Amino acid sequence: MDEKLKDCGHVQSSDFVINFLSAVSAGIVKQGQYVLLCSHGFGFTWGLTLIRV
């Protein structure tokens, strides 16, 4: 996904969406698979999301 970083730069919370869509369009993520998204924030905040494509 490094090429997307070069194209778009760091776009805060939209990074997840851009990288996820890039992975789907590149065939890395396929229908029926599970994808775990993990993020952290300032201090001790964090979040996880499990989605099925």
More confident residue, 51 or 19: 51
Return the pLDDT at 5.
65
Tell me the torsion sign for CA atoms 2, 37, 35, 30: negative
Domain ranges of the chain: 2-52
| Calpha distance 47→32 (Å, rounded) | 23
Return the pLDDT at 50.
94
Quote the mean pLDDT of the chain: 83
**pLDDT tens-place string over residues 27-49:** 999 999 999 988 877 778 888 89
The answer to whether residue 1 scores a pLDDT higher than 60 is no
CA angle 6, 12, 13 (to 5 degrees): 120
